[in-house]
Amino acid sequence: MNLSKVLIANRGEIALRIIRSLKETGLCAAAIYSEADQSCVHVQMADESYEIGAAAASKSYLSMTRIVDLAKKIKADAIHPGYGFLAENAEFASLCEGAGLVFIGPTPDNMRLAGDKLAARMTVEKLGVPVVPGSDHALLTLEEAKEVARQITYPLMLKASAGGGGRGIRVLSDESVLEEEFASAAAEARAAFGDPTLYLEKLIQRPRHIEVQILGDGQGDAIHLLERNCSVQRRHQKLIEEAPSPALSDSVRKRIHAAALSVAKGIHYRNAGTIEFLVDENDNFYFMELNARIQVEHPVTEMITGVDLVNAQISIASGQGIGVIQHEISQWGHAIECRINAEDPDMEFVPSPGKVEDYWAPGGFGVRFDTHLYPGYEIPIYYDSLLGKLIAWGRTRERALRTMGRALQELSIEPIKTTRPFLYEVIRHKEFIEGTYGLDFVEKMLETRSAEAE
């Protein structure tokens, strides 16, 4: 199908990223914006821009029917959801396709599978990919959960089947904690996802979070674009990602890539996504989840492979195929991404909205800053705190680290409190430099800082 105009159902940094790829492919980029985003850069950069509703996301960027109706009214051929908001909403994808619009993303079935963590576990296990030991069915009562927990043995993680973004997760050290947390976890899951279903997984000690970037044509063909390490997290929210993953043997790397491909091909995955794994201290890896969308951290993969992932998304959606074959994918250097959030690290990472009075973007060889910032921009209180993604590339990891350190020092966003100083501290930490860090790294680092401050 020949596309002509694409409506971007998102805002800020990712909307701007998509606009650039659309323009480079000769397509008309149409943007939407809320009342709070009239001065956002993506509104000016798009070929066409339309106000979609009030500041609250529920009345603008989450208004499915309003967005689809607008797309039809302006004669758009397709909708790109970016990430966040409606990007993983199977109902929205179905609504688009039912209206004759191309959805630039996974199929509704892909999304439904990804959104049901328990069903995804069972599907992946049937494909021969290792999963974390856990319950093989929904746990609806505390007594049932206790029985399963005794079989798997503690420590465990209690998770929402429809969960995502780190929400609805409880760490269980013993049965007494399960008794305390089960009801509240189910209530949280119902409130957040409309589904109280829970399941249990064995807690992997000091794991690393490794994700494999995939592209699929929806017909059973797929490729991987190497892996990323996403283990620098706070409360299950990623702060720093890098590609390729340090401290991962070549043999394990190859097996993880193969496992990801097995999943992508086995479920006839369409468009961009990630297959995510936990890797333990003994290099055993286990499937964790499928993310059915373009990821925030996709630039590090672009930097080491030379593949424009948004361009690939458009190619797949228009029926032109993935656009690259597996043997053409190779690693070139190393890339690191730091998420610059409007949060104050010295105040428990509390959000820090406000007016950007002074702004200086870093530059130089190997530096990329994906952002929608400019001097005078008013950071709204209504949306995610992500201001931009600072990416550094180097021929070696050591060189990429040096470049990132210099870029973080150059970056200035005043008087907004950001995560920049904390991220600079992270990349200079001995454990991070050695590449041996796991998912407990930030937690331990913050505990050490707190103890030293007393």
Measure the CA–CA gap between 244 and 256, rounded to whole angstroms. 12
Measure the CA–CA gap between 134 and 50, rounded to whole angstroms. 47
Q: Are 278 and 204 in contact (CB under 8 A)?
A: yes
Measure the CA–CA gap between 313 and 145, rounded to whole angstroms. 41
**Residue 389 φ then ψ, to 5°:** -120, 115
As annotated, the active-site residues are: 293
Q: In what order do the strands lie in the sheet with 208-217?
A: 285-291, 270-279, 208-217, 222-234, 237-243, 334-341, 386-394, 367-371
Give me Rg for the CA atoms of the chain: 21
**Residue 347 φ then ψ, to 5°:** -125, 50
Q: How many CA atoms, within 13 angstroms, populate the side-chain half-sphere of residue 291?
A: 23
Q: How many CA atoms, within 13 angstroms, populate the side-chain half-sphere of residue 301?
A: 27
Measure the CA–CA gap between 348 and 330, rounded to whole angstroms. 40
Single-letter residue type at 331: Q
Q: What angle do CA 205, 209, 212 make, to 5 degrees?
A: 145
Q: Are 195 and 162 in contact (CB under 8 A)?
A: yes
Beta bridge partners of residue 5, listed in sequence order: 28
Tracing tokens 């060189």 back to the chain, one arrives at 399
